[in-house]
Amino acid sequence: MLTFADYSAFWTNPMPHGFGMPAHLLPCYYQYLQREVYFNDYLDLFRKQKRISFPRVPVKGKLYIYPGFPIVHCPPYTIQHEGKVLLAVAKYPYENQVDAECIEYILIGEAAPPDIINYFYNVNGTKATPYFSAPCKAFGVVGKTKKEKLIGLAKKGVLLIDLYPFPINYGQKIRGKTIRDTLIDANVPECFWEDRHNPNSLHTRNATIRESLFCKEVNKPNAVIVAPTNLSHHLGQKLNSITPISHLGLNFRLNENTFLPPHIHSTAAFFIHIPPHTHLVSLSPLIPDYPLLSLSRVPYYCCCAYSGSNIGPHELFIRNGLGLP
């Protein structure tokens, strides 16, 4: 969890170690803290120690937590109580739940949505999004409520983790180029992927949860990228290059997707355009083949799972990247 100083520095520092954005446009820090609390609530399902990472404190009929370091008072997000500033949060959702075994599969996204109610780990979110529905379909998770489905994903060993801490519209254009492409051109994704000095990089965040949450029996959790097209393809290229970016101690399925019947495609394309009645095939006996049915575009790299319709990840490509049946 970032302090306000680190959070704001990542927003304003020059690229590639920051976003190079104006300070007055900084996304809400307190909602960032709330998202991190809900993320850690989910991680509690995997912790071997029977404890809650952020115990709730009832004050005047509402629930609050202390984030572990001082924060500035900012109503309605905080309250001053017994000499500390506490953050308002929802009720802890996983009391008396069966613990998940361990993390076996990791989905890597770009960032949380601007609306915190639809955040992946917010059990109170009810709006269906492909970022939540596709993983549920990929792992065969069902339930009446989002809480039940999150518990189901945990029991399957699934974790979604985002590359960036800022919930902004990365497709918005500034000076003729999207924010996403501007960050890619400046190598910002690499900094947030593997920079050991970046407290929010995937390398750093994975290291903090590895020992207690990854399976001892599993050498490396399988991982797949579920970020939007441009970013997924950029990271897929980096993972498959001669001098690749770090694999983060994770097992990515490398190389390009292949098909039956064989289909020639351009390396410049984010997606491969395929004819009807095509199968997505694997050269590995451990990874199944998949009939593509009505789909007409497939991610170029096996490690990418974004849909060819550009609306979110697709459950078939998640399964393909992770080697699921």
The DSSP 8-state label assigned to residue 248 in this structure reads: T
Flag whether pLDDT at 93 surpasses 90: yes
**Could you write out the three-class secondary structure of 265-303?**
CCCCCCEEECCCCCEEECCCCCCCCEECCCCCEEECECC
**Per-range mean pLDDT, top range of 87-91, 202-206, 212-216, 262-266:** 87-91
Q: For 155-164, how does the pLDDT look when each residue is reduced to its tens digit (9 = 90+)?
A: 999 999 999 9
At 300, list the tokens.
Answer: 């170029």
What's the pTM?
Answer: 0.95
**What pLDDT, on a 0 to 100 scale, did the predictor assign at position 217?**
61
Q: What average pLDDT score do residues 295-304 get?
A: 94
Q: What average pLDDT score do residues 225-243 get?
A: 96
Give the separation between CA 113 and CA 120, rounded to whole angstroms.
Answer: 9
Flag whether pLDDT at 319 surpasses 80: yes
**37 SS3 class:** helix
Give the separation between CA 140 and CA 225, rounded to whole angstroms.
Answer: 19
Q: For 128-161, how does the pLDDT look when each residue is reduced to its tens digit (9 = 90+)?
A: 799 999 999 999 999 999 999 999 999 999 999 9
- Residue spans of alpha helices (H) in the chain: 4-12, 29-43, 130-138, 146-155, 179-185, 188-194, 202-213, 229-239, 315-322
Using CA atoms, how far residue 130 sits from 113, 183, 218, 319, in Å, is 12, 24, 28, 14
Residue 69's pLDDT band (cuts 50, 70, 90): very high
